[in-house]
Amino acid sequence: MRKALLSAVAAIGISISANAHDTLIHAGFILNPEDGSYTENQYILIDDGLISEIGNWAERPHEGVDQKIDLSDKYVLPGLLDAHVHLTGDSQVHGYKRLTRSVPRQAITGVRNARRTLDAGFTTVRNLGAAGYADIALRDAINDGDVPGPRILAAGPSLGITGGHCDNNLLPSEYKVKADGVADGPWALRAKVRENKKYGANLIKFCATGGVLSKGTDVGAQQFSYEEMKAIVDEAHLAGMKVAAHAHGAKGIETAIEAGVDSIEHSSFITDAGIAAAKRKGVYLSMDVYNSDYILSEGEKAGMLEESLAKERVVGKIQRESFRRAVRAGAKMAFGSDAAVYPHGQNGHQFAYMVKWGMTPLQSIQAATIHNADLFGLSETVGSIKPGKHADIIALEEDPLENIEIMQSVSFVMKGGDVHKD
């Protein structure tokens, strides 16, 4: 933007300083998520949405900038990343209530939820499943500046077996309804991967086991054979896309890992052998350890089926114990909240739960910054505050390494050099 401006004004003979910068931030404490250290009293220069320079506040002139932002008494962190959201979903619309929501209505819901997510400090997310490619439309609208929201890596429709967790099982047979991503057999699934890619998907998500919130599925039962999972993964990787597998049950988890997925979502019944396999293959575990409390306290009012609530009463505690074992074993852990099961914008509540179930505060922040950046394939552009990266910056009133609950109360949000919350 500034380079284009300089060229334009030079062409018509107007003089402008080439040393001017878009934004200068005075940061009190900048967290390095790699080692948990703070650098005090720093300046951050931002040009064209990128961090151009960082240094000691006392050692540079502070003129020649378009905008100055005073965060001198704040704890400054990189923008956060959530590996598992459903922006077009509504936490108050589950079970049979979902049948009342058209794809256009879901897309409009996504506009609201994208803003709430960004305000919570999450500047980049993976949207793992949406009907009618609504998440891709939302991503493109955000990128075009039509609506505010985080950067989105969109999966489009989730792939699933007939009658499985990613199918629509709420209506009787005479309606002949099935979800967009349903297919059976390796070649049919390769075609689905290609279709999602054709319509703009950044990655692929498939359902390797049953789930909590689907009708008529066994949460621990494997869905898709190894050959089907391998076809999905191979086709996606050929297209340069990563693959996330929804998987609660132990066998489905281990099969998905063997098939080559990049992340396991939920991982509830993962065994020690499954954790070892994930470590060996470099697979990230994304475990939504916050939302169980919401499901069991608010799920009935939101329309969740009684069978779903019964499944969660079993799954929630087991998943948290599995999370603790995975952390102790040194598995690669992502931050994935499954927002839409609970209200969007509450993503930051999960940090305290991750700490309660075995992580240090720094480990929980690493999961939502440098680890997710690696999982997303975006380590060169997001996840830390360094020159050359996107100016995705949040600020907190307290030190999160001392009080992790402050991650629920982000007071300043910048995405790509633009202030969205101050």
Q: pLDDT class for 387, splitting at 50, 70, 90?
A: very high
- What residues contact 175, with CB distance under 8 A and at least 6 apart? none
Contact 86, 42 (CB under 8 A): no
Tell me the CATH number at 34. Answer: 2.30.40.10
At 209-235, the pLDDT tens digits run 999 999 999 999 999 999 999 999 999
State whether 253 and 371 are in the same domain.
yes
The CA-atom distances, in angstroms, between 229 and each of 78, 160, 224, 256 are 35, 10, 6, 6
CA-to-CA distance for 240 and 99, rounded, in angstroms? 34
Q: Which residues of 310-338 are buried (b: 16+ CB within 10 A; e: fewer)?
A: ebbeebbeebbebbebbbeeebbbbbbbb
- What residues contact 21, with CB distance under 8 A and at least 6 apart? 45, 46, 47, 52, 64, 65, 66
CA-to-CA distance for 57 and 385, rounded, in angstroms? 16
Residue 9 pLDDT = 31
Q: pLDDT class for 168, splitting at 50, 70, 90?
A: very high
Give mean pLDDT, residues 392-397: 98
At 242-255, the pLDDT tens digits run 999 999 999 999 99
Q: Is residue 52 assigned to a domain?
A: yes
Q: Is residue 332 assigned to a domain?
A: yes
Tokens of 172: 């009787």
CA-to-CA distance for 335 and 371, rounded, in angstroms? 8
CA-to-CA distance for 8 and 39, rounded, in angstroms? 38
State whether 293 and 391 are in the same domain.
no
Q: Is residue 239 exposed (0-12), middle (13-18) or buried (19+ Cβ within 10 Å)?
A: middle
State whether 107 and 38 are in the same domain.
no
Q: Is residue 9 assigned to a domain?
A: no
At 58-102, the pLDDT tens digits run 998 778 899 999 999 999 999 999 999 999 999 999 999 999 999
Q: pLDDT class for 21, splitting at 50, 70, 90?
A: confident
Average pLDDT over the chain, rounded to an integer: 94
Q: pLDDT class for 386, splitting at 50, 70, 90?
A: very high
The total number of structural domains that make up the chain: 2
Residue 240 pLDDT = 98
Whose tokens are 């680890």? That residue is 371
State whether 255 and 396 are in the same domain.
no
- Judged against a pLDDT cut of 50, whether residue 363 lies above it is answered with yes
Residue 60 pLDDT = 81
Residue 125 pLDDT = 98
State whether 391 and 356 are in the same domain.
no
CA-to-CA distance for 145 and 107, rounded, in angstroms? 16
CA-to-CA distance for 47 and 60, rounded, in angstroms? 16
Residue 32 pLDDT = 98
Residue 13 pLDDT = 32
- Judged against a pLDDT cut of 90, whether residue 7 lies above it is answered with no
CA-to-CA distance for 296 and 240, rounded, in angstroms? 39
Tell me the CATH number at 146. Answer: 3.20.20.140
- Judged against a pLDDT cut of 90, whether residue 298 lies above it is answered with yes
Q: Is residue 326 assigned to a domain?
A: yes
**Domain end point (choices 376, 393, 410):** 376
CA-to-CA distance for 134 and 297, rounded, in angstroms? 29
Residue 20 pLDDT = 62
State whether 357 and 390 are in the same domain.
no
At 108-158, the pLDDT tens digits run 999 999 999 999 999 999 999 999 999 999 999 999 999 999 999 999 999
Q: Is residue 328 assigned to a domain?
A: yes
State whether 107 and 253 are in the same domain.
yes
Closest CA relative to residue 25, chosen from 38, 41, 43 = 43
- The 3-state DSSP class for residue 212 equals coil
Q: pLDDT class for 11, splitting at 50, 70, 90?
A: very low
State whether 66 and 90 are in the same domain.
no
Q: Is residue 1 assigned to a domain?
A: no
Span of 111-115, 158-162, 290-294 with lowest mean pLDDT = 290-294
- Judged against a pLDDT cut of 60, whether residue 4 lies above it is answered with no
CA-to-CA distance for 345 and 18, rounded, in angstroms? 40
State whether 56 and 106 are in the same domain.
no
Tokens of 73: 């008494």
- Judged against a pLDDT cut of 70, whether residue 6 lies above it is answered with no
List 286's β-bridge partners, or say none. 265, 334
State whether 245 and 389 are in the same domain.
no
Q: What are phi and psi of 157, to 5 degrees?
A: -65, 135
Full domain range(s) for residue 51: 19-79+384-421
Q: Is residue 268 assigned to a domain?
A: yes
CA atoms within 13 A on the CB side of 34: 8
Q: ∠ CA 78-81-87 to the nearest 5 degrees? A: 135
Q: Is residue 55 assigned to a domain?
A: yes
Q: ∠ CA 105-110-116 to the nearest 5 degrees? A: 140
At 302-356, the pLDDT tens digits run 999 999 999 999 999 999 999 999 999 999 999 999 999 999 999 999 999 999 9
- DSSP-assigned letter for residue 164: S
Residue 2 pLDDT = 45
State whether 156 and 282 are in the same domain.
yes
Residue 394 pLDDT = 98
State whether 132 and 36 are in the same domain.
no
DSSP 292-333: HHHHHHHTTTTT--HHHHHHHHHHHHHHHHHHHHHHHHT--E
